[in-house]
Amino acid sequence: MSCKSYLKISIFEKVKNSKILYRYMQKMLLLGDEAIALGAIDAGLSGVYAYPGTPSTEITEYIESSKIAKEKGVKARWCANEKTAMEAAIGMSYAGKRTMVCMKHVGLNVAADGFINSSITGANGGLIVVVADDPSMHSSQNEQDSRFYGKFAMIPIFEPSSQQEAYNMVHYGFDISEKYRMPVMIRITTRLAHSRAGVGRMAEKEQNTLKLPTDLKQFVLLPSIARKNFRRLLDLQTVIENDAETSGFNKYIEGKDKSKGIIACGIAYNYIMENFQENLPFPMLVIGQHPVPTKMLRKLYDECQEIYVFEDGYPLVEEMLKGSLNLGKPIHGRLDGTLTRDGELNPNKVAVALGLKDTIGQPIPEVVAQRPPALCSGCPHTDSYLALNEVLRDYSKGRVFSDIGCYTLAALAPLEAINTCVDMGASITMAYGAADAGLVPAIAVIGDSTFTHSGMTGLLDCVVHKSNVKVFILDNFTTGMTGGQPSAALGKLEAICAGVGVDPAHIRVIKPLMKNHEENMKIIREELAYDGPSVIIPRRECIITLDKRMREKFKNK
């Protein structure tokens, strides 16, 4: 298949039956996440692996609930964490099948070991790593730009500007992953992940059959083999740059007014076009695939007096173009203050950067109050925190280390119950470190799913060093914040904690309900008095999943 045909919606391809034709012609209204999911299913995906994380969750959810995927026997797996998901995908690629692993940007930090090394092993079956970044931190702890990871791993990176392009890039991504035997990254941001638009489908492909790598030592990263593999990866760099030159995902749009030259990465393209519509006067390089071809950059740089770089994320291309010494033509973007250094782009920011008129409606009236997210009414976490807060009145403030999940919302009023939230699992290990510093007892508060994601090893540290840490595992039977995906911890918590070595006498289960408030506080007090690691498990189902379950039950009757 020629590269260019990926750019069109090849609706008539291999389609004879008129009924099927109709299906192909009908555009589907899909989120960016769903477009990637459907693209993968149609491109012959055999398995998707993921840990839920906004804004990436809907990719795996779509495949999980897709009838077509089910008929085709596609595996849709929620994994214990992003690292196990990444490694499962490498395993499926080893076995010759097309596979995708999906995560939010900070999930890639967890998966980084496997991810970076997967570029050294290379792929066998097509391997796509989808990472959804969250500039403006709508639902995250930072706004790191995953393209830097892609560059670090020296693999092709795709940055779609639309839902359709996202769909098409999955097809193309699988093809070049197999052609060059290397993983590829698709990087999206929240705005595309969670925005719907019409998407047309391409012809469906069969799944690959089981086929091991020709060289059965390809995936053995012993130094002698890794050195050879790494040299291959280095040699491939010019090849993947040439690919980015010809694939059609990088486009050079001519313009008569050479006073400015524009570089638009991913969805930044939309914001520029929003401002100019069909009348863009300046030459523009639209970047959808990295490494960015030097030839295209050279042309824009030579042709134009000044360069404006628009990236929804960190200034990756801008920094590259500018270099440390910045000796060339003026280059404008996030680094020189033309755009804010932080936050997602929007049409207005782009307009102002290019000297166009800004627009704004009326100011927000003073009467409007802030409405931050909060724990749901009836949430078990509230009752757990009320008990903990009351018991901790007898201690000095600032000893509650928490984690990533709905329960992080307890940092805000009215509960104001926690003092930290850093990364998945950090509650237990930070409490452990603080206890070593003398802050005893130190309290850790972590959710059930977060505990099996990255909390178990930290608990092991506490047990090995007999640390005076009280670990609250808030067990609501689900991964709540991301919409109720299954929790790997379900039914296993006491066994895990005992297995890790916590004295069973200090594994206490309570039911967080106001009617049990006194009893719960008594148990918490007892454990706080014990000089050693304890686990307290407040256990009650998430009110949202309970509600959903009851409605299903009612419906089926």
Partner 1 sequence: MKKDIIIAGVGGQGILSIATTIGMAALEMSLHLKQSEVHGMSQRGGDVVSNLRISDKEIFSDLIPFGKADMIISVEPMESLRYLPMLSENGWLITNSVPFKNIAHYPEVENVLTEVKKFKNHVLIDADGIAKELGSVKSANIVILGAASPYMDIPLEILTIAINKIFKNKGQEVIDLNLKALALGREFSLKHA
Q: Whole-number minimum distance, CB 425 to partner 1, in Å?
A: 19
* Nearer residue to partner 1 within complex by CB, 360 or 437: 360
Q: 39 and 170 in contact (C-beta within 8 Å)?
A: yes
Q: Whole-number minimum distance, CB 288 to partner 1, in Å?
A: 15
Q: Whole-number minimum distance, CB 195 to partner 1, in Å?
A: 4
Mapped onto helix, strand or coil, the DSSP state of residue 510 is strand
Q: Whole-number minimum distance, CB 183 to partner 1, in Å?
A: 27
Q: Whole-number minimum distance, CB 271 to partner 1, in Å?
A: 5
* Nearer residue to partner 1 within complex by CB, 376 or 440: 376
Spatial CA neighbour of 495 closest among 532, 465, 537: 537
Binding site for partner 1 (CB under 8 A): 29, 31, 54-55, 57-58, 138-139, 191-192, 194-198, 267, 269-271, 273-274, 277, 346-348, 351, 358-365, 367-377, 406, 409, 413-414, 481-483
* Nearer residue to partner 1 within complex by CB, 207 or 389: 389
Q: How many other C-beta atoms lie within 10 A of the C-beta of residue 146?
A: 30
Which residues are paired to 365 by β-bridges? none
**Alpha carbon distance, N-terminus to C-terminus of the chain:** 51
Q: Whole-number minimum distance, CB 359 to partner 1, in Å?
A: 4
* Nearer residue to partner 1 within complex by CB, 97 or 349: 349
* Nearer residue to partner 1 within complex by CB, 121 or 140: 140
Gap between the Cα atoms of 354 and 21, Å rounded: 44
* Nearer residue to partner 1 within complex by CB, 223 or 365: 365
Q: Whole-number minimum distance, CB 448 to partner 1, in Å?
A: 18
The C-alpha angle with vertex 119 and arms to 50 and 457, in degrees rounded to 5, equals: 50
Structure tokens at 43: 């491109």
Distance set, CA 375 to CA 32, 208, 386, 511 (Å)? 28, 45, 13, 18
Q: Whole-number minimum distance, CB 395 to partner 1, in Å?
A: 26
* Nearer residue to partner 1 within complex by CB, 122 or 135: 135
Distance set, CA 485 to CA 139, 165, 534 (Å)? 17, 28, 28
Q: Whole-number minimum distance, CB 525 to partner 1, in Å?
A: 29
Spatial CA neighbour of 164 closest among 393, 380, 7: 7
Spatial CA neighbour of 457 closest among 421, 506, 499: 499
Q: Whole-number minimum distance, CB 67 to partner 1, in Å?
A: 15
What is the β-pairing status of strands 478-479 and 442-447?
A: unpaired
Q: 129 and 92 in contact (C-beta within 8 Å)?
A: no
Structure tokens at 481: 């914040």
Q: Whole-number minimum distance, CB 266 to partner 1, in Å?
A: 12
* Nearer residue to partner 1 within complex by CB, 33 or 494: 33
Q: 45 and 98 in contact (C-beta within 8 Å)?
A: yes
* Nearer residue to partner 1 within complex by CB, 121 or 162: 162
Chain centre to alpha carbon of residue 175: 23
Spatial CA neighbour of 35 closest among 79, 88, 100: 100
* Nearer residue to partner 1 within complex by CB, 164 or 454: 164
Gap between the Cα atoms of 465 and 488, Å rounded: 27
DSSP conformation letters of 340-391: -SSS---HHHHHHHTTPPP---PPPPTTPPP----PPTT-HHHHHHHHHHHH
Q: Whole-number minimum distance, CB 196 to partner 1, in Å?
A: 4
Which residues are paired to 186 by β-bridges? 130, 158
* Nearer residue to partner 1 within complex by CB, 66 or 117: 66
Q: How many other C-beta atoms lie within 10 A of the C-beta of residue 225?
A: 16
* Nearer residue to partner 1 within complex by CB, 274 or 342: 274
* Nearer residue to partner 1 within complex by CB, 23 or 217: 23
CA-based max dimension of the chain: 78
Structure tokens at 458: 């930290």
* Nearer residue to partner 1 within complex by CB, 106 or 182: 106
Q: Whole-number minimum distance, CB 26 to partner 1, in Å?
A: 9
Mapped onto helix, strand or coil, the DSSP state of residue 12 is coil
CA atoms within 13 A on the CB side of 294: 5
Gap between the Cα atoms of 270 and 498, Å rounded: 54
Identity at 513, one-letter amino acid code = L
Q: Which helix (H) or strand (E) holds 284?
A: strand 284-287
Q: Whole-number minimum distance, CB 527 to partner 1, in Å?
A: 29
CB-neighbour burial class of residue 198 (10 A; exposed 0-12, middle 13-18, buried 19+):
middle
